[in-house]
Structure 1
Amino acid sequence: MRIFSAFLLSACLALGAGMALAETAAEDDDAPLAGLLAGPNKTALPEVILSVGEPLGGPWKLRSGGYYEVEITADGSGELGLAGADFFRAIWVDEVVIRGLEMRPMGLHSIEFDRAGTMEIGFVAIKPGRYSLEIPGATGASQRLEIEID
Protein backbone atom coordinates (compact mmCIF):
# COMPACT_ATOMS: atom_id res chain seq x y z
CA MET A 1 0.00 0.00 0.00
CA ARG A 2 2.88 2.38 0.81
CA ILE A 3 4.45 1.75 -2.60
CA PHE A 4 1.14 2.50 -4.33
CA SER A 5 0.68 5.70 -2.30
CA ALA A 6 4.22 6.85 -3.12
CA PHE A 7 3.60 6.11 -6.83
CA LEU A 8 0.31 8.00 -6.78
CA LEU A 9 1.91 10.99 -5.05
CA SER A 10 4.78 11.01 -7.61
CA ALA A 11 2.32 10.86 -10.50
CA CYS A 12 0.26 13.75 -9.11
CA LEU A 13 3.36 15.89 -8.58
CA ALA A 14 4.59 15.17 -12.11
CA LEU A 15 1.16 15.95 -13.57
CA GLY A 16 0.96 19.21 -11.63
CA ALA A 17 4.46 20.25 -12.78
CA GLY A 18 3.57 19.41 -16.39
CA MET A 19 0.39 21.48 -16.21
CA ALA A 20 2.32 24.41 -14.74
CA LEU A 21 4.86 24.23 -17.58
CA ALA A 22 2.08 24.08 -20.16
CA GLU A 23 0.39 27.14 -18.63
CA THR A 24 3.70 29.04 -18.61
CA ALA A 25 4.35 28.19 -22.29
CA ALA A 26 0.80 29.23 -23.23
CA GLU A 27 1.31 32.59 -21.53
CA ASP A 28 4.65 33.19 -23.29
CA ASP A 29 3.80 34.70 -26.69
CA ASP A 30 7.48 34.72 -27.69
CA ALA A 31 7.86 30.94 -27.45
CA PRO A 32 8.76 29.44 -30.85
CA LEU A 33 6.29 27.10 -32.47
CA ALA A 34 7.22 23.47 -32.25
CA GLY A 35 8.54 21.70 -35.29
CA LEU A 36 11.26 22.41 -37.78
CA LEU A 37 8.82 23.40 -40.54
CA ALA A 38 6.93 25.96 -38.43
CA GLY A 39 7.01 29.47 -39.89
CA PRO A 40 9.27 31.11 -37.28
CA ASN A 41 11.89 28.40 -37.78
CA LYS A 42 12.39 29.16 -41.49
CA THR A 43 15.23 31.33 -42.78
CA ALA A 44 14.80 33.22 -46.05
CA LEU A 45 17.91 33.24 -48.24
CA PRO A 46 18.68 36.10 -50.66
CA GLU A 47 16.89 35.74 -54.01
CA VAL A 48 18.95 34.18 -56.80
CA ILE A 49 18.55 35.99 -60.14
CA LEU A 50 19.33 34.06 -63.31
CA SER A 51 20.36 36.46 -66.06
CA VAL A 52 22.85 36.01 -68.91
CA GLY A 53 26.27 37.27 -67.80
CA GLU A 54 25.14 38.39 -64.33
CA PRO A 55 26.57 37.04 -61.04
CA LEU A 56 24.53 34.56 -58.99
CA GLY A 57 25.39 36.07 -55.61
CA GLY A 58 26.32 34.31 -52.42
CA PRO A 59 28.09 32.79 -50.71
CA TRP A 60 25.60 31.02 -48.46
CA LYS A 61 26.56 29.79 -45.01
CA LEU A 62 23.95 27.31 -43.79
CA ARG A 63 23.49 25.38 -40.56
CA SER A 64 22.92 21.64 -40.69
CA GLY A 65 19.37 20.99 -39.51
CA GLY A 66 18.18 24.49 -40.44
CA TYR A 67 15.16 25.10 -42.68
CA TYR A 68 15.70 27.52 -45.57
CA GLU A 69 13.62 29.05 -48.36
CA VAL A 70 15.03 30.62 -51.51
CA GLU A 71 13.36 32.27 -54.50
CA ILE A 72 15.07 31.67 -57.83
CA THR A 73 14.03 34.06 -60.60
CA ALA A 74 14.96 33.97 -64.27
CA ASP A 75 14.64 37.23 -66.17
CA GLY A 76 14.07 35.53 -69.53
CA SER A 77 17.33 36.74 -71.09
CA GLY A 78 18.21 33.16 -71.98
CA GLU A 79 17.49 29.52 -71.27
CA LEU A 80 19.27 29.19 -67.93
CA GLY A 81 19.46 26.64 -65.18
CA LEU A 82 21.31 25.70 -62.02
CA ALA A 83 23.12 22.42 -61.55
CA GLY A 84 24.43 21.16 -58.25
CA ALA A 85 23.84 17.45 -57.75
CA ASP A 86 26.15 17.30 -54.72
CA PHE A 87 24.30 20.18 -53.04
CA PHE A 88 20.89 18.70 -53.82
CA ARG A 89 22.01 15.38 -52.29
CA ALA A 90 23.16 17.23 -49.13
CA ILE A 91 19.69 18.69 -48.46
CA TRP A 92 16.15 17.41 -47.95
CA VAL A 93 13.80 19.22 -50.34
CA ASP A 94 10.53 19.98 -48.58
CA GLU A 95 8.78 21.66 -51.49
CA VAL A 96 9.19 23.45 -54.79
CA VAL A 97 6.56 26.10 -55.57
CA ILE A 98 5.99 27.35 -59.12
CA ARG A 99 3.07 29.75 -59.79
CA GLY A 100 1.34 28.63 -56.61
CA LEU A 101 1.66 24.93 -57.46
CA GLU A 102 3.43 23.04 -54.68
CA MET A 103 5.51 19.98 -55.48
CA ARG A 104 7.15 17.70 -52.98
CA PRO A 105 9.84 15.84 -54.91
CA MET A 106 12.01 13.03 -53.60
CA GLY A 107 15.01 15.13 -54.64
CA LEU A 108 16.46 17.36 -57.32
CA HIS A 109 19.45 17.16 -59.63
CA SER A 110 19.15 20.52 -61.36
CA ILE A 111 16.58 23.14 -62.35
CA GLU A 112 16.06 25.01 -65.62
CA PHE A 113 14.06 28.00 -66.83
CA ASP A 114 13.06 28.15 -70.50
CA ARG A 115 11.52 31.61 -70.01
CA ALA A 116 11.11 34.26 -67.30
CA GLY A 117 9.63 33.06 -64.04
CA THR A 118 10.14 32.40 -60.35
CA MET A 119 10.27 29.27 -58.25
CA GLU A 120 10.63 28.91 -54.51
CA ILE A 121 12.46 26.00 -52.93
CA GLY A 122 12.10 25.10 -49.25
CA PHE A 123 14.71 22.71 -47.87
CA VAL A 124 16.51 21.44 -44.80
CA ALA A 125 20.32 21.51 -44.88
CA ILE A 126 21.52 18.05 -43.84
CA LYS A 127 25.07 17.09 -44.74
CA PRO A 128 27.91 19.44 -43.70
CA GLY A 129 30.39 20.33 -46.43
CA ARG A 130 31.18 22.75 -49.25
CA TYR A 131 28.94 22.77 -52.31
CA SER A 132 27.99 24.95 -55.24
CA LEU A 133 25.17 25.72 -57.63
CA GLU A 134 26.33 26.79 -61.07
CA ILE A 135 24.99 27.64 -64.48
CA PRO A 136 25.84 24.65 -66.69
CA GLY A 137 28.46 25.47 -69.31
CA ALA A 138 29.41 28.79 -67.72
CA THR A 139 33.07 29.27 -66.85
CA GLY A 140 33.08 32.53 -64.88
CA ALA A 141 33.48 32.43 -61.10
CA SER A 142 30.47 34.76 -60.70
CA GLN A 143 28.29 32.14 -62.42
CA ARG A 144 28.73 29.91 -59.40
CA LEU A 145 27.03 30.19 -56.00
CA GLU A 146 29.25 28.85 -53.20
CA ILE A 147 27.49 27.12 -50.30
CA GLU A 148 28.84 25.91 -46.97
CA ILE A 149 26.82 23.76 -44.58
CA ASP A 150 28.20 23.65 -41.00
Structure 2
Amino acid sequence: MLTSTICAAVSAAGLGIAALTAYRRRFLAATRIAAFSLVPIGLVLTGIVQWLTDIVFKPSVWAGFGVLALSALLFVVSRAAERRGAGGGRKERKATAAAAQRDAMAPAASAPSLGPGRAAGRPQGGAKKSGDGEDFSDIEAILKKHGI
Protein backbone atom coordinates (compact mmCIF):
# COMPACT_ATOMS: atom_id res chain seq x y z
CA MET A 1 0.00 0.00 0.00
CA LEU A 2 2.75 2.42 0.94
CA THR A 3 4.82 1.48 -2.08
CA SER A 4 1.95 2.20 -4.47
CA THR A 5 1.45 5.61 -2.87
CA ILE A 6 5.15 6.42 -3.23
CA CYS A 7 5.19 5.27 -6.86
CA ALA A 8 2.10 7.36 -7.64
CA ALA A 9 3.72 10.42 -6.05
CA VAL A 10 6.94 9.90 -8.03
CA SER A 11 4.95 9.58 -11.25
CA ALA A 12 2.93 12.72 -10.50
CA ALA A 13 6.09 14.69 -9.73
CA GLY A 14 7.71 13.47 -12.94
CA LEU A 15 4.69 14.46 -15.00
CA GLY A 16 4.77 17.92 -13.37
CA ILE A 17 8.43 18.33 -14.31
CA ALA A 18 7.61 17.16 -17.84
CA ALA A 19 4.86 19.81 -18.06
CA LEU A 20 7.28 22.53 -16.96
CA THR A 21 9.82 21.34 -19.49
CA ALA A 22 7.20 21.38 -22.25
CA TYR A 23 6.22 24.92 -21.21
CA ARG A 24 9.83 25.95 -21.94
CA ARG A 25 9.38 24.50 -25.44
CA ARG A 26 11.76 21.60 -24.90
CA PHE A 27 9.31 19.01 -26.17
CA LEU A 28 11.76 16.20 -26.80
CA ALA A 29 13.11 16.37 -23.24
CA ALA A 30 9.57 16.70 -21.87
CA THR A 31 8.53 13.55 -23.72
CA ARG A 32 11.45 11.61 -22.26
CA ILE A 33 10.74 12.84 -18.73
CA ALA A 34 7.07 11.89 -19.10
CA ALA A 35 8.04 8.42 -20.34
CA PHE A 36 10.34 7.85 -17.35
CA SER A 37 7.81 9.22 -14.89
CA LEU A 38 5.11 6.78 -16.05
CA VAL A 39 7.29 3.74 -15.30
CA PRO A 40 6.68 3.61 -11.48
CA ILE A 41 2.89 3.77 -11.76
CA GLY A 42 3.01 1.19 -14.57
CA LEU A 43 4.96 -1.16 -12.33
CA VAL A 44 2.38 -0.73 -9.57
CA LEU A 45 -0.51 -1.41 -11.93
CA THR A 46 1.08 -4.60 -13.30
CA GLY A 47 1.76 -5.99 -9.82
CA ILE A 48 5.53 -6.07 -10.13
CA VAL A 49 5.97 -3.78 -7.14
CA GLN A 50 3.94 -6.13 -4.94
CA TRP A 51 6.03 -9.06 -6.16
CA LEU A 52 9.27 -7.18 -5.41
CA THR A 53 8.17 -6.22 -1.90
CA ASP A 54 7.26 -9.85 -1.25
CA ILE A 55 10.78 -10.84 -2.29
CA VAL A 56 12.49 -8.17 -0.22
CA PHE A 57 10.72 -8.91 3.04
CA LYS A 58 10.86 -12.74 3.07
CA PRO A 59 13.83 -14.36 4.85
CA SER A 60 13.56 -17.53 2.78
CA VAL A 61 14.13 -15.49 -0.38
CA TRP A 62 17.26 -13.95 1.15
CA ALA A 63 18.47 -17.43 2.09
CA GLY A 64 18.02 -18.44 -1.55
CA PHE A 65 20.06 -15.44 -2.68
CA GLY A 66 22.74 -16.43 -0.17
CA VAL A 67 22.88 -19.97 -1.57
CA LEU A 68 23.16 -18.58 -5.11
CA ALA A 69 25.97 -16.25 -4.02
CA LEU A 70 27.80 -19.16 -2.37
CA SER A 71 27.43 -21.18 -5.56
CA ALA A 72 28.87 -18.35 -7.65
CA LEU A 73 31.75 -17.92 -5.19
CA LEU A 74 32.61 -21.62 -5.34
CA PHE A 75 32.54 -21.51 -9.13
CA VAL A 76 34.94 -18.54 -9.22
CA VAL A 77 37.29 -20.19 -6.71
CA SER A 78 37.36 -23.43 -8.70
CA ARG A 79 38.16 -21.54 -11.92
CA ALA A 80 40.98 -19.65 -10.17
CA ALA A 81 42.41 -22.89 -8.79
CA GLU A 82 42.25 -24.47 -12.24
CA ARG A 83 44.14 -21.56 -13.77
CA ARG A 84 46.89 -21.79 -11.16
CA GLY A 85 47.43 -25.43 -12.08
CA ALA A 86 46.27 -26.90 -8.77
CA GLY A 87 43.34 -28.68 -10.37
CA GLY A 88 45.15 -30.34 -13.27
CA GLY A 89 43.58 -28.12 -15.84
CA ARG A 90 44.52 -26.76 -19.22
CA LYS A 91 48.25 -26.37 -18.63
CA GLU A 92 48.72 -30.05 -17.90
CA ARG A 93 46.67 -31.00 -20.94
CA LYS A 94 48.77 -28.69 -23.11
CA ALA A 95 52.01 -30.13 -21.68
CA THR A 96 50.79 -33.67 -22.36
CA ALA A 97 49.81 -32.74 -25.92
CA ALA A 98 53.19 -31.09 -26.52
CA ALA A 99 55.02 -34.17 -25.20
CA ALA A 100 52.96 -36.43 -27.46
CA GLN A 101 53.79 -34.22 -30.42
CA ARG A 102 57.50 -34.32 -29.57
CA ASP A 103 57.37 -38.11 -29.29
CA ALA A 104 55.65 -38.33 -32.67
CA MET A 105 58.36 -36.20 -34.28
CA ALA A 106 61.27 -37.92 -32.49
CA PRO A 107 61.48 -41.08 -34.72
CA ALA A 108 61.85 -38.95 -37.86
CA ALA A 109 64.62 -36.88 -36.27
CA SER A 110 66.49 -39.90 -34.91
CA ALA A 111 66.48 -41.84 -38.20
CA PRO A 112 69.92 -42.73 -39.60
CA SER A 113 71.36 -39.99 -41.70
CA LEU A 114 72.19 -40.39 -45.40
CA GLY A 115 74.13 -37.20 -45.57
CA PRO A 116 74.03 -33.66 -44.31
CA GLY A 117 70.40 -32.69 -43.64
CA ARG A 118 68.87 -35.91 -45.02
CA ALA A 119 67.26 -38.69 -43.05
CA ALA A 120 66.61 -42.25 -44.28
CA GLY A 121 62.83 -41.97 -44.28
CA ARG A 122 62.65 -38.61 -46.03
CA PRO A 123 62.24 -38.21 -49.78
CA GLN A 124 65.24 -36.73 -51.57
CA GLY A 125 63.26 -34.16 -53.51
CA GLY A 126 63.62 -31.49 -50.79
CA ALA A 127 60.43 -30.02 -49.40
CA LYS A 128 57.18 -31.90 -49.78
CA LYS A 129 54.35 -30.70 -51.97
CA SER A 130 52.22 -27.91 -50.53
CA GLY A 131 49.25 -30.25 -49.99
CA ASP A 132 51.29 -32.61 -47.80
CA GLY A 133 52.44 -29.96 -45.31
CA GLU A 134 55.91 -28.58 -44.63
CA ASP A 135 59.02 -30.36 -43.37
CA PHE A 136 60.66 -28.42 -40.55
CA SER A 137 63.24 -30.97 -39.39
CA ASP A 138 66.15 -28.85 -40.69
CA ILE A 139 64.89 -25.83 -38.77
CA GLU A 140 64.38 -27.94 -35.66
CA ALA A 141 67.96 -29.23 -35.91
CA ILE A 142 69.31 -25.67 -36.12
CA LEU A 143 67.23 -24.58 -33.15
CA LYS A 144 68.38 -27.59 -31.11
CA LYS A 145 71.99 -26.83 -32.04
CA HIS A 146 71.61 -23.34 -30.55
CA GLY A 147 69.77 -24.63 -27.49
CA ILE A 148 66.39 -23.16 -28.32
Q: TM-score under structure 1 normalisation?
A: 0.29
Query: Which structure has the larger Rg over C-alpha atoms?
Result: 2
Q: Which has the higher helix share?
A: 2
Task: Give the strand-richer structure, 1 or 2.
Answer: 1
The normalised TM-score by structure 2 is 0.30
Greater relative CO (CA pairs within 8 A, separation 6+):
1
